[in-house]
Amino acid sequence: MSESGPVKIGKGSPEDPVFVGVGELPSGRYPQRSFIGDLTLVALRALKDAQMAPRDVDTIILIPNLHSFNDQADLIFSRLVEELGLNGHAKASFMVHSGGSTSDNAVRVASGLIASGHARTVLVLQCERWGSANLAEMVTMLSKNGIPGEWELPTGLQFNAIGALITRRYMHASRSSPSDMAAMCVALRQWAQLNPNAMYKGKSLTVEQVLASRMIADPLHAMECPMLADGAAAFVMTSAQNAAKRGIRATVRIAGSGGCVSHYSIGQEADLAVLGWPTAAKRAYEQSAWGPKDADFAEIYDSYAAVTAIAVEGLGLAEGGEGARWFAKNSTPGGKFPCNTNGGLLSAGHTGVGGGMALLIEGVRQLLWRAESERQINGCERCIVGGTGGSYMDAQVLLLERVASGVSA
């Protein structure tokens, strides 16, 4: 940012880092699949979508898994370079991690490497085996990671409880009913019915079913909590100039980026019904030439419905206090403003740190006009992506837009 204000990057600039391809594997429980096998396969799918081969990649950024330290060690020590046949060719292979907002930050890192000339083409990869991992071990992990050991862990606080605290506070502040919150889950399930990669494709959902499901952490019912899943996702970024030289005519650029880290301990968050979204959104919109009224759709982290309801208000998509009701009314297939068009974490499946990754690549896929016909948003050009990690300690916003003309070589 310059002293006079935000730097506006001209649309179609040759220096623009752009998305050129995405890849994804179905989410769910797939014990027959392997971690490295999934990573390799999803990498090849993303490269094929980008009209590239492994040797076109010079940098790999890895998004960590949470199911196995040994598998993560393989990532840290560059196993994917070898699996993709890039020994001696790759410049770098390393990991980026900020929980559920990792994909947003990986985009920023990849963009910086490309814009500065340190990388030409970056492949970003993620795989999680939550669905097939030992359930007791995953529950233990989710009961400790990111929760202050000095003050909050001794109380029994864990992530469903954090989700419940946020939900209870939001429902009070917005006067939202249990049915309002459940309707958000139903809206997400409608998108999952159209997504062949969704964990809950083929399984319908009603408000009554949500409210009749087992209470997990008051006021959250079982069907309001994300199901742990196996999954894998990847995307490819390069410069607009390189894309044009390769004959790639449709790309996705970053029009704006903003973030706010509001807390570590949930007890230190000033208002659980607001979080960091208004600040992050303001920073992103100031950097771009457009705002919420100019977007065609959004992909926003949704491990719990209230997290997304708070976000759509902070992003300026819904009026204050109307996030849950707005989402249920407007975000569904055929609605005024589609949101989480893959089904989100709550219906596509929670793939750990990859939950945000799946939403990001869905946004890119839609903007490249490569979603399945029944799910594709006709003529979409602009998307808001929102991610958050840990105990919702941050809000990260990316404003993406389609560039169809390419850049002259």
**Domains of the chain as residue ranges with CATH:** 17-133+229-245 (3.40.47.10)
Residue 396 Cα distances to 99, 237, 265, angstroms: 11, 19, 18
| pLDDT for the residue 141 | 84
| pLDDT for the residue 198 | 98
Residue 202 Cα distances to 61, 191, 205, 323, 333, angstroms: 34, 11, 10, 27, 16
CA 58 – CA 347 distance, rounded (Å): 35
Backbone angles phi, psi at 89, to 5 degrees: -100, -40
User: What is the CB neighbour count within 10 angstroms for residue 87?
Assistant: 9
How many CA atoms does the CB half-sphere of 62 hold within 13 Å? 23
* Contact (CB, 8 A) for 29 and 115: no
Numbers of helices and strands, H then E, in the chain: 14, 11
Secondary structure (DSSP) of 186-201: HHHHHHHTT-TT-TTT
* Contact (CB, 8 A) for 235 and 370: no
Backbone angles phi, psi at 19, to 5 degrees: -80, 135
Digits of tens for pLDDT over the chain (409 positions)?
A: 333 344 333 466 778 999 999 999 999 999 999 999 999 999 999 999 999 999 999 999 999 998 988 999 999 999 999 999 999 999 999 999 999 999 999 999 999 999 999 999 999 999 999 999 888 888 888 888 888 889 898 998 999 999 999 999 999 999 999 999 999 999 999 999 999 999 999 999 999 999 999 999 999 999 999 999 999 999 999 999 999 999 999 999 999 999 999 999 999 999 999 999 999 999 999 999 899 999 999 999 999 999 999 999 999 999 999 999 999 999 999 999 999 999 999 999 999 999 999 999 999 999 999 999 999 999 999 999 999 999 999 999 999 999 986 443 3
* Contact (CB, 8 A) for 244 and 409: yes
Full-model pTM = 0.94
Question: What does the pLDDT look like over 134-169, one tens digit per residue?
Answer: 888 888 888 888 888 898 989 989 999 999 999 999
CA 237 – CA 245 distance, rounded (Å): 14
| pLDDT for the residue 405 | 67
**SS3 state of residue 214:** coil
Strand partners, 370: none
* Contact (CB, 8 A) for 235 and 398: no
Strand partners, 19: 237, 252
